[in-house]
C-alpha cells in the first residue's frame, strides 16, 4: 500500500497526498517505514508567523495569487487552533483562501495543533517532507500565531516571515529577542493604517545591531494584503534570502533541529501522559513524594 501511495504522490496525485497526510497524522502502522522511503528534496519551505489578527491568511492568499501568476506550484500547510472536543482544526481562517481549493497548482491542508503549545502540528516535520515528494515548487507553512511559534517555525522553514501590524509597538518589545534571531523578512501588514511608516522606522532602528552581524540584512516590507499591495516586493525579499550563502549555512542548523525533534519524539513514544498523571496521583497520597526520584524510575 505505502509503495503505491508514494508513486501516486510523486505523480502529483493530490488525493493520495491528502490520504498519506492523514495516515501520518494518525500514526497508522507502517508510516515510519514509509517516511524512510521519501526521496531527498530541496523544495524551499516558507514560514509565515505572527500574532493572531495580523493578516497571515490574507497574506498567504495574496502570495498564492502571485505564485500562480508566475506558473508556480505551491502547497500550503495551515496550522490552526484545535477544537477542545475532538482536537480537529478550527477552519475559520481558511475561508480567506477558498479560491484555491480546486486550483490544479495549489494544495491547501489545514492541520490542528492537537494541543501542541508551540503553534505547530506535532507531525509538521514529517508532513512537510511528505509534501516535498509531490513536486511542488514551494511549500508555505502558516502557524497558528501563538507566542512560541515564532521560534519553532525557524526550526522548520528555510526562510521565515514574521507578520506585524502598525499597532504592535508594545507587543514587539516582548517578542523582539526571538524575532531578531529567526526573522529573515518582516512584513508590516495593513500598512495603510496611521503610523505604519513610523513603526517601520522604529523596527529598523531596533534591528540595526542585528544588521551589522548578518551577511544579509533582515528585510522590512510594507504590505496591504487585501489589495495585494507590496506582495511582489515581499516575494523578491524571500527569493533574495534563498539565494544567499547564509541560507546554505542555515540548512545544516535546520536539519539538526529537525533531527533533534524527531529523536525526542521517538524517545518519548513509550510514555503516556495520562498514565503518568495517574501514577503521580497515587504516589502523592504517600508521604515524602519526590518528583525527581519518580523521574529516575522512568529514564
The residue ranking higher by pLDDT, 185 or 298, is 185
Residues pairing with 79 in the sheet = 111
Residue 207 scores a pLDDT above 50: yes
- Residue 109 neighbours by CB under 8 Å, 6+ apart: 18, 21, 75, 76, 77, 78, 127
Spacing of C-alpha 175 from chain mean position: 17
Burial-class residue 127 by CB neighbours within 10 Å (0-12, 13-18, 19+). Answer: buried
Q: What are phi and psi of 85, to 5 degrees?
A: -100, -45
Residue 64 scores a pLDDT above 90: yes
d(CA 58, CA 48): 11
- Record the cell numbers describing residue 174, joined without a space: 516582548
Structural domain boundaries of the chain?
Answer: 1-37, 38-268, 273-299
The residue ranking higher by pLDDT, 247 or 225, is 225
Burial-class residue 10 by CB neighbours within 10 Å (0-12, 13-18, 19+). Answer: middle
d(CA 55, CA 28): 35
CATH no., domain 38-268 = 3.40.50.300
Residue 90 scores a pLDDT above 90: no
Residue-wise pLDDT tens digits, 151-191: 567 678 889 898 988 876 655 655 555 556 678 899 999 99
What pLDDT score was predicted for residue 111? 84
Residue-wise pLDDT tens digits, 122-153: 788 889 999 999 999 999 998 866 444 455 67
CA distances from 180 to 50, 167, 207, 219 (A): 13, 19, 7, 12
Residue 118 scores a pLDDT above 70: no
Q: What are phi and psi of 181, to 5 degrees?
A: -75, -35
Residues pairing with 95 in the sheet = none
Amino acid at each position: 500500500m505505502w509503495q503505491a501511495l508514494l508513486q501516486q504522490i510523486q505523480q502529483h496525485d493530490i488525493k493520495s497526498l491528502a490520504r498519506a497526510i492523514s495516515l501520518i497524522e494518525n500514526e497508522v502502522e507502517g508510516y515510519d517505514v514509509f517516511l524512510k522511503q521519501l526521496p531527498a528534496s530541496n523544495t524551499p519551505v516558507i514560514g509565515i508567523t505572527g500574532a493572531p489578527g495580523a493578516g497571515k491568511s490574507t497574506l498567504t492568499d495574496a502570495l498564492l495569487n502571485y505564485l500562480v501568476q508566475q506558473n508556480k506550484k505551491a502547497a500550503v500547510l495551515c496550522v490552526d487552533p484545535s477544537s477542545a472536543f475532538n482536537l480537529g482544526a478550527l477552519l475559520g481562517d481558511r475561508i480567506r483562501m477558498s479560491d484555491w481549493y480546486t486550483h490544479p497548482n495549489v494544495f491547501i491542508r489545514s492541520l490542528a495543533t492537537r494541543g501542541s503549545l508551540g503553534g505547530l502540528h506535532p507531525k509538521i516535520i514529517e508532513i512537510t517532507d511528505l509534501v516535498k515528494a509531490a513536486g511542488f515548487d514551494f511549500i508555505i507553512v502558516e502557524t497558528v500565531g501563538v507566542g512560541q511559534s515564532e521560534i519553532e517555525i525557524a526550526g522548520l522553514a528555510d526562510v521565515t516571515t514574521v507578520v506585524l501590524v502598525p499597532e504592535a509597538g508594545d507587543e514587539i518589545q516582548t517578542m523582539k529577542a526571538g524575532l531578531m534571531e529567526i526573522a529573515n523578512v518582516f512584513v508590516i501588514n495593513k500598512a495603510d493604517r496611521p503610523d505604519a511608516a513610523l513603526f517601520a522606522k522604529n523596527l529598523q532602528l531596533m534591528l540595526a545591531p542585528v544588521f551589522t552581524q548578518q551577511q544579509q540584512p533582515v528585510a522590512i516590507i510594507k504590505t496591504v494584503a487585501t489589495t495585494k499591495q507590496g506582495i511582489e516586493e515581499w516575494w523578491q525579499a524571500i527569493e533574495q534570502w534563498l539565494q544567499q550563502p547564509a541560507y546554505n549555512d542555515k540548512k545544516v542548523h535546520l536539519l539538526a533541529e529537525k533531527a533533534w525533534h524527531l529523536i525526542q519524539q521517538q524517545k518519548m513514544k513509550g510514555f503516556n501522559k495520562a498514565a503518568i498523571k495517574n501514577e503521580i496521583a497515587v504516589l502523592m497520597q504517600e508521604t515524602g513524594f519526590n518528583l525527581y526520584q519518580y523521574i529516575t524510575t522512568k529514564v
